[in-house]
Every structure is written in C-alpha cells, then in structure tokens.
Amino acid sequence: MATSPPAGGLLPFSAHETGFGMAMRLPMDSPPPFFRGDKMATTANMIRLYLKRRPQLLSMVNNGLCNYSALARRLQREIFPNKKSEFAAIKAALLRMAHDTRTTDVDWEKGVERVLRASTVEIRSDVCVVSSKSGIGVPVIATSNSKSGVMSVADASYSQQLKKKGAGVIEDLTLIILCSPRDLQDTPGCVSVILNAIAAEGINVLEFISCHTDTLMIVRNADAVRVYGILNGLIGKG
C-alpha cells in the first residue's frame, strides 16, 4: 500500500516505488532501494521518480525555474538524510533531467500551443450540477455516468424542481466550454496545461467533461470571470 503524503507534501522515503508501479514499506533506517536484493535503483532514477510524483516541481526543474543547488540540498535531506555525499549526484541528476527533456518539452509545448491557439471559449452562466441515481427528467446540457450515479449539468431554472425530487443540486455555477480543433485528440498535454493554469490561480474546477473536441468545465460563478480570462490568455486572446 502506498504511503499518503504528510502535511508538508513530501513522501517519507519509508515507502519506495518499485519498478512495477507498486510501493513497499521499508524501515526508516534502511537504505532506500526500490528492490531488496541485487537490483538497486540509482540516485538518478530515485530523483526522477520523486519528481514525477510532484508535477509542478518537475516542471520548474525542466524549465530552469529553480535553484538546482538549493533543490539538491532539499532532496538530499528528504531522500538521503544521512548521506551528504549524495548532494553532487543529486544536482547532476537534476541538471541532466533538465537538459534531456528540454528538446522534448519544446516539441510538446509547441503542439499544445498550436491546439490552444486554434480554440475558442464559450461561457454559459446560471447552470447547476445535479447528482442522481438515474435520469433527472429535465433537459440537460451535459451528463456523465459512473458506478456511483449520474452527474448532469442543467439550467439553474430547474434547481428547485430537482431539489423537490430529492436530487443533489449545486447552484451558482457557470459552464465554460473550450472548443478545440480535431488535433486535440492526438496532442498530449492540453488538458494538463489548462487545469494547471486554473489551479495555479487557486481555482477549483467542480466538474470536468470531455466531449469529442469540446472541453467542458464547471466553476463557481465567483470564479467564472477569472477562468474565462485564463483560457483567453492560453488561446492568445487575453
């Protein structure tokens, strides 16, 4: 079972990811290999896995937006608390990661930028999100089904009617739709860029639905103008 991150956001390295995507608990005073036995993970692999669990930190490393020495000292304390000699290896691993991914990241970012620049933003206010076990009996704008039930987006004018039926209703919401070209389906990273940009402003997307080349996001009315501005900035119209 994987260990949940503590309040500080950093995993104690008593839990180490194995090469099979699983985790196993090791005594805190034991060395931090991913496997017991002869197959030991290298410092570079450990740093790579550590950062992959923290996408925002990884992005800063790859884009040269951090102090590599300061980050290496931090990682040394977190991963190798009793091995100051690992500092040089950690810093070298960080610099190597930034160098190796720079070309790939440029190509990836160009693809995302190309898709977003060809997108448009639409907005619809006064909607509500309805949680139910089945259909809600009123016109819906969008819907999503899962094992736990049905999530529907409907016009807010139906809120009171739906509440009387016992459905769970969240009001004061806005639907924002990003309409993109067909390339969206074959371009990795578009959704990540959109959601990261919104999250960076401390805004929560209550519901997220992808329908062909349309990306639907439900946010609170109080956040709608800011999200609209963020998306317009991404598509080059802000």
Q: H helices within the chain, ranges in order? A: 43-52, 55-62, 68-79, 87-117, 159-164, 190-199, 221-234
In a domain, 7, yes or no: no
Residues 6+ apart with CB under 8 A from 198: 205, 217, 227, 230
Burial of 201 (0-12, 13-18, 19+ CB in 10 A): exposed
pLDDT-derived band of residue 105, with 50, 70 and 90 as boundaries? Answer: low
Q: Are residues 30 and 127 in the same domain?
A: no
Total number of domains in the chain: 2
pLDDT of residue 119: 95
Q: Is residue 1 part of a domain?
A: no
Helix (H) or strand (E) holding 142: strand 142-146
Whether residue 87 is found in the same domain as residue 181? no
Do 123 and 105 share a structural domain? no
Same domain for 71 and 175, yes or no, is no
Kindly report, residue by residue over 46-76, the tens digit of the pLDDT: 888 888 888 778 878 877 888 999 999 999 9
Q: What is the DSSP letter of 158?
A: G
Are 160 and 59 found together in one domain? Answer: no
Q: What is the pLDDT of residue 103?
A: 58
This prediction has a pTM of 0.62
pLDDT category at 125 given cuts 50, 70, 90 is very high
Mark whether 21 and 127 lie in a shared domain. Answer: no
Q: At what angle do helices 43-52 and 55-62 cross, to 10 degrees?
A: 120
Sign of CA dihedral 84, 88, 93, 95: positive
Q: Is 235 exposed, middle or buried (0-12, 13-18, 19+ CB in 10 A)?
A: middle
Confidence (pLDDT) at 97: 85
Tell me whether residue 83 is in a domain.
yes
Domain contains 3? no
pLDDT of residue 189: 84
Instruction: Tell me, yes or no, whether 165 and 229 share the same domain.
Output: yes
Q: For residue 237, give the nearest of 106, 119, 123 by alpha carbon.
A: 119
Mean pLDDT across 75-89: 87
Indicate whether 12 pLDDT > 60. Answer: no
160 and 62 belong to one structural domain: no
State both tokens at 49. 């896995």
Q: Average pLDDT, whole number, for the chain?
A: 80
> Is residue 102 in some structural domain?
yes
Q: What is the pLDDT of residues 136-193, one digit of tens each?
A: 999 999 999 998 899 999 999 999 999 999 999 999 999 999 999 998 988 888 888 8
Q: Which DSSP symbol is given to 36?
A: S
- Same-domain pairing of 74 and 163: no
Domain assignment of residue 228, given as a range: 118-234
